[in-house]
A and B are shown apart, each in its own frame.
Chain A
């Protein structure tokens, strides 16, 4: 070398593309090149959209998602389970038509799973949780949220059967009174992990707090599993369940 100090590459901000669904809400204009005054000026400016707009979009998305869930849970999933159940043997039909029919009819069940995944992803993200809270908060309250807005409003007992440590929490949206509760399987963010499907709310006796019973299979992979608390009569979403299972 001639004594000139060797130049170094800058530290990369990241080395992978963002593939997470959060790019769902990226505006198309954000792909377009910006006028940058000089080299490197653009990177710092390329931040997320303004948080208010972001929250609004997420809030809208989550609200729509829950409406889809309500409708689909009441109709699609129940019927789909019946169709694929023992009362009707898929072997009665075979070939392309059977496959296509099954696919079409079961589509609603798949949509439920899609939205469950969507919600699970939302719950795993702090920024998105704020958007979720905004969706549930009346506009006036959203401007000055109460510190207790996220607090539990309903008492629930929790019974867990698990060979490994697991931390379970149930959170309700504000204003939820005593209602009959229901839930579906708890799912992990990673789609390849099996859901925790042995979970249910049980009413021990009249007037007593409902009991959330969760059984964790021995071979269940560790991770964070979450699901939705539903009004057992109306299907309205009331809150969330989160189970953090040690590896």
Chain B
């Protein structure tokens, strides 16, 4: 969508005619959503937009502005109505007694809004990140101090004498200020002053002070962190922050021409360990939460966390230190409704054609022997399976109206399709990669049907679509071998009672690092008014996580088998784990299944675990729907949308070498803009926000 939006900007004066070929009945790929029974929103997973998604927000805001130029009143006319700030972020952590607790933080409002013009200092520098990291450290220490420690005496103006310094340290120890990390840091600051003027002191004084701090503070610190879980968590974050700062400096990342890519071959936990992070911190909920956010588990195996240090550092620094407005932004409706429907409407208005139910099967290259000297290889044909044809030969109309908002339905509109009744009876799954049924096949030819190709599928689909390229090109073989993906799983609950009645008091929070197999969940109660229930639910909650790989057979039933697996996981998870946060959802015999709201409004679905059938769940196992991992050493195998090895082909997606090489909306949009640049030399690379980044 980003590429189409860029190529059809009015500035191009209609130079580029874009046709989008997409399987099934809706746009969005991994970000697609649909409206199901009771107008409920059904997503591929839990999507949030992070406050640093500058390119994504900028394009969306431009899209909304252009859509509004027709002057028609509409819901969500302003993009700010379509997104709500979500500053409440939490991490789940096990307490010493084995129970789970939520470690919540409310992130302060960031200056400006994502997509606003940047106005104050280039935020994308290592130096800026270092300063902001130091500020975070101070904030964390203040948080520790706020837990009741006596304020440490001000030492800044104390005269540098042996007696005064020994007195200061002794006083700190006596009054227990060293029982806090802030006190320890203050003592260390004193120590630095001694060290800075050490020529005036015998070495024995310096060593005595070090011994005093090391011996006294550590004992008290350990006692405190062992009996205070929150303090322990803060300490773990401080430890990670310190290791990060030290690593940035010691590895010379501020001046390395590779930027953070210089450490991309190393796993982020190993990198933090190299720079002094304690083992306990590496296993902390903070680090687990970062892995959960990036689905960073090889083959969906929770025992195999893996995340490239460079990508992790770049992503974390941008997430925490360059967000605007809010750290997270939740959508006020489905991602399809808020993002892809407006883009669809604007692009249609610009003349873009959409070919739904068109599944690209193969990209065919021109015969190598037929290339002229110096001529680069190029795509000569696209083989496409047509899954369904539209009655009357027109264009499929994909949107439905839900309370005045154009939305994508969860099922296709068979009435628009030739032999729609038959297709419905046959239970065709147009979005399943393993349902290979088709009505006909088309072959598009270069020079007749297209000039340029933008391959904007997920990387998991590339091996299935690009046989010619893979047969000839080692770089592409390396790319598909090393840029790996993971399947994900998600489910959504509509509860008849609000979460506050079940014992959860945090406002619209998102929580990560929780029990497997669903380590992330989010309160989505703000969506209740957007759905059309006869009896509105009291809560909506989304869950997601990685999904471990499973053996075949990879037949037409594969999707259904994996969906059933997700359903079983969800039932087990609700029965076993949610009591920690929702004690009111658990009765004598386990989870209170009667809490689940049934869109049919009947009691036909029972009151036991079978009632879960009224909810929504999904296994994201389609090759194109799988989440792109940022594994150590994999970034160098990514191929840039700017690469012109193939004369009329470029790639787009969060799996490409787009500068921000992690799986997220922002990466996909950056990549899409790069793909447009590859064809039209516009937008200028310098305008792609954050592409040039350490």
- C-alpha spacing A230/B476, complex, angstroms: 51
**A21–B682 touching, CB < 8 Å:** no
Contacts of A92 in B (CB 8 A): 210-211, 214
Contacts of A96 in B (CB 8 A): 218, 221-222, 235, 239, 278
Interface pairs (5), CB distance under 8 Å: A93-B211, A95-B278, A99-B276, A104-B188, A114-B249
Is A100 in contact with B184, judged by CB distance below 8 angstroms?
A: yes
In the bound complex, CA of A31 to CA of B11 (Å)? 19
The answer to whether B694 and A23 have CB atoms under 8 Å apart is yes
A114 contacts B255, C-beta separation under 8 Å? yes
Apart from A14-B642, A95-B222, A190-B256, list 19 A-B contacts with CB within 8 A: A8-B648, A9-B644, A12-B644, A21-B254, A24-B122, A24-B125, A27-B122, A28-B121, A39-B13, A83-B210, A93-B215, A96-B278, A97-B217, A101-B184, A114-B252, A121-B255, A189-B257, A191-B253, A192-B262
Looking at A8, A95, A101, A189, the one whose CB has the most chain B CB atoms below 10 A away is A101
* A159 CB, min distance to chain B CBs, angstroms: 29
Chain B residues in 8 Å Cβ range of A34: 684, 687
* CB-CB nearest in chain A for B220: A97
The 6 lowest CB-CB distance pairs between A and B, nearest first, are A19-B259, A93-B214, A191-B252, A1-B447, A97-B218, A117-B255
Q: Least Cβ distance of B65 to chain A in Å? A: 13
Is B678 engaged at the interface, CB distance under 8 Å to the other chain? yes
- The answer to whether A46 and B251 touch (CB under 8 A), given A29-B118, A97-B213, is no
B212-270 contacts to A, CB under 8 A, are 213-215, 217-218, 221-222, 235, 238-239, 242, 246, 249-262
Distance in angstroms between the alpha carbons of A25 and B254 in the assembled complex: 12
CA distance A102 to B15 in the complex (A): 62
Q: Which A residues are in CB contact (< 8 Å) with B643?
A: 12, 15
Enumerate chain B interface residues (CB-CB to A < 8 A).
11-13, 15, 54, 58, 117-127, 181, 184-185, 188-189, 191-192, 195-198, 203, 206-207, 210-211, 213-215, 217-218, 221-222, 235, 238-239, 242, 246, 249-262, 276, 278, 378, 445-448, 451-452, 640, 642-644, 647-648, 650, 657, 659, 678-687, 689-694
Task: Pick the interface stretch among A74-82, A177-185, A239-247.
Answer: A74-82
Looking at the assembled complex, report how far the CB atom of A37 sits from the nearest CB atom of chain B, in whole angstroms. 8
Contacts of B648 in A (CB 8 A): 6-9
Q: Are B685 and A14 in contact (CB under 8 A)?
A: yes
- B-side contacts of A40, CB under 8 Å: 680-682
Cβ contact within 8 Å between B119 and A28 = yes
The residues of B that contact A75 with a CB separation of less than 8 Å are: 195-197
Contact status A100-B214, CB under 8 Å: no
Docked pose: A75 CA to B192 CA in angstroms: 10
Q: Are B119 and A29 in contact (CB under 8 A)?
A: yes
B236 (CB) vs chain A CBs: closest residue: A96
Tell me which of B126, B452, B681, B684 contacts A7 (CB under 8 A): B452
Among B253, B256, B451, B644, chain A packs the most CB atoms within 10 A around the CB of B256
Chain A residues within 8 Å of B124, by CB: 23, 26
B451 touches A17 (CB 8 A): no
Please tell me which one of the listed residues B235, B249, B255, B659 contacts residue A120 in the complex, with CB atoms under 8 A apart.
Answer: B255
Quick check: B252 and A42 within 8 Å, CB to CB?
no
- Of the candidates A30, A79, A94, which one forms a contact with B196 in the assembled complex, judged by CB atoms under 8 Å apart? A79
Given contacts A6-B451, A17-B692, A23-B125, contact A113 B249 (CB under 8 A): yes
Tell me the complex Cα distance, A167–B451, Å. Answer: 53
CA distance A204 to B447 in the complex (A): 77
List of B residues within 8 angstroms of A190 by Cβ: 256
Known: A12-B642, A39-B681. A28 touches B118 (CB 8 A): yes
Q: Which residues, 107 to 155 on A, are CB-close (under 8 Å) to B?
A: 107-108, 110-111, 113-114, 117-118, 120-121
Query: Is A11 on the interface with B (CB-CB < 8 A)?
Result: yes
CA distance A243 to B449 in the complex (A): 59
A2 at the interface (CB under 8 A from B): yes
Specify which chain A residues have a CB less than 8 angstroms from the CB of B251 in the assembled complex. Answer: 191
Instruction: Check B694 against A16 for contact (C-beta < 8 Å).
Output: no
> B451 and A38: CB pair below 8 A?
no
- Chain B residue at smallest Cβ distance from A45: B684
* Contact A2:B448 (CB < 8 A) given known A88-B207, A110-B246: yes
Q: Which of A13, A14, A96, A103 has the most CB of B within 10 A?
A: A96
- Which residues of B are found within 8 Å of A27, using beta-carbon distances? 122
Q: CA of A88 to CA of B203 in the docked complex: distance in angstroms? A: 9
Cβ contact within 8 Å between B214 and A82: no
Name the B residues within 8 Å of A6 (CB-CB).
Answer: 378, 446-447, 451, 647-648
Contact status A93-B210, CB under 8 Å: yes
Closest-CB distance, A38 to chain B (whole angstroms): 6
Q: A105 touches which one: B119, B195, B218, B221 (CB < 8 A)?
A: B195
Residues of A within 8 A of B215 (CB): 93
When the two chains form the complex, which single residue of B15, B54, B58, B262 contacts A191, counting CB atoms closer than 8 Å? B262
Residue of chain A at shortest CB distance from B310 = A19
CA A18 to CA B659, docked complex, whole Å: 9
* Complex Cα–Cα for A191 and B189 (A): 29
Q: Which residues of A contact B447 (CB under 8 A)?
A: 1-4, 6
- A33 interface contact, C-beta 8 A: yes
Q: Which of B255, B447, B647 has the most CB of A within 10 A?
A: B255
Residues of B within 8 Å of A16, CB to CB, are 640, 657
Please give, as numbers and ranges, the residues of chain B lying within 8 Å of A233 by CB-CB distance: none
A114 to B260 CA separation, bound complex (whole angstroms)? 15
Contacts A14-B642, A101-B214, A189-B255 hold; do A46 and B684 have CB atoms under 8 A apart?
yes
Q: How far is the CA of A10 from the CA of B376 in the complex (A)?
A: 12
Flag whether A67 is at the interface (Cβ < 8 A).
no
